[in-house]
Amino acid sequence: MSLVKLEYIWLDGYKPTQSLRSKTKIEKDFSGKLEDLPMWSFDGSSTEQAPGGSSDCLLKPVFVVNDPQRKNAYLVMCEVLNADGTPHVSNGRATIEDDDNDFWFGFEQEYFLWDPATNKPLGFPAGGYPGPQGPYYCSVGANNAYGREIVEEHLDVIIEAGLNVEGINAEVAAGQWEFQIFSKGAKQAGDQIWIARYLLERIGEKYGVAVNWHCKPLGALDWNGSGMHANFSNSLLRTAGSKEIFDKVCEAFRPVVKEHIDVYGADNHLRLTGKHETASIMDFSYGVSDRGASIRIPVMVPQKGWSGYLEDRRPNSAADPYKVAARIIKTVKSVG
């Protein structure tokens, strides 16, 4: 017999941005299989998910990976259910309509590594600013790249956990980084982003470095904000073979700008200004290779005879990938 640590992870009920919560369950001889994980519960009155008088919320395991940083351990992503077993209102994952995993998502998660002492990104001197943007993107060297130790440890750990990470890069602002995760199946893509966020936060604890997911943590100054570009496709787009289908799918997004922005992360008006490689939050546009558009059609789409995927550039770094995916799927499916 061996004891196994199961870290049950869920999203709380805070608005407008939900945060990660987790607690450890010790079990005997866990098989490693999702279906062998028991339901669990927590005090929803401590997470803005239930009143104190009837506080129990349920945790339903939906995705499990190894936890490479703990002995005999697993990370268990959970959906939150009400006591009667129905999905809790905070449960974005339950709203995803992709049971056949036809939708593929690649999220580009940007974030700032943040010094809690200075309340500034790594690389920002206390009480001042580093040199202007330009040298930081994809940089190397102690003058320009800050926090690589954390980023590298995170990369190793998410690979070891079995997440489908596709790359990392230093971003445009000092102390800003990105990782990309791709999955066939919208729910699994969201699960992987959340587990990767969890591991980054936890690794940061060791270094005394926080992660700032806010989309514009430096306000209106001339520093890029953080996005979570959503690259997506379904079999329609992957096998389209015609510009008309791409135009039709893109046009389906035009009348539902508000519905999309509603789930694309808090404070996005601060980021989607029309500057810093963004489109204005009020506008809707799309174009081949256009990083100033709401939706970019990657240049390889026309090159491959109009088949492939689209990039919605509007979701921000603090958005819930479940809700982003659910809304994109709804809009794409509205195309007959």
Tell whether residue 182 is a contact of ligand ADP (CB under 6 A): yes
Tell whether residue 231 is a contact of ligand ADP (CB under 6 A): yes
Compute the distance between CA of residue 270 and CA of residue 177 in angstroms, rounded to an integer.
Answer: 19
Burial 130-147 (b: 16+ CB within 10 A, else e): beebebbeebeeeebbbb
Give the shortest CB-280-to-Mn ion separation in angstroms: 18
Contact 62, 187 (CB under 8 A): yes
Partner in contact with 104, chosen from ligand ADP, Mn ion, none, beta carbon below 5 to 8 Å by kind? ligand ADP
What is the x/- site pattern for ligand ADP, positions 237-256, by CB under 6 A? -x------------------
Sequence-ordered list of residues with C-beta below 8 angstroms from that of 265, at least 6 positions apart, any chain: 17, 215, 228, 315, 316, 317, 318, 319, 320
Helix H or strand E segment including 58: strand 56-66
For the segment 87-126, give every residue that binds ligand ADP (CB under 6 A): 104-106, 108
Partner in contact with 49, chosen from ligand ADP, Mn ion, none, beta carbon below 5 to 8 Å by kind? none
Dig out the tokens for 163 from the structure. Answer: 């997440």
Taking contact as CB under 5 A, which single stretch among the options 66-74, 105-113, 187-195, 265-273 is the one that binds Mn ion?
105-113
Tell whether residue 40 is a contact of ligand ADP (CB under 6 A): no
Compute the distance between CA of residue 110 and CA of residue 112 in angstroms, rounded to an integer.
Answer: 7
Partner in contact with 309, chosen from ligand ADP, Mn ion, none, beta carbon below 5 to 8 Å by kind? ligand ADP
C-alpha dihedral sign at 29, 153, 79, 26: positive
Sequence-ordered list of residues with C-beta below 8 angstroms from that of 318, at least 6 positions apart, any chain: 17, 213, 214, 215, 226, 228, 265, 266, 267
Tell whether residue 178 is a contact of Mn ion (CB under 5 A): yes
Tell whether residue 233 is a contact of ligand ADP (CB under 6 A): yes
**Any idea what DSSP says for residue 95?**
G
What is the x/- site pattern for ligand ADP, positions 271-310, by CB under 6 A? -------------------------------------xx-
Give the binding-site size for ligand ADP (rule: CB under 6 A).
15
Interface residues with Mn ion (CB under 5 A)? 108, 178, 229
What is the binding site for ligand ADP (CB under 6 A)? 104-106, 108, 166, 180, 182, 229, 231-233, 238, 308-309, 311
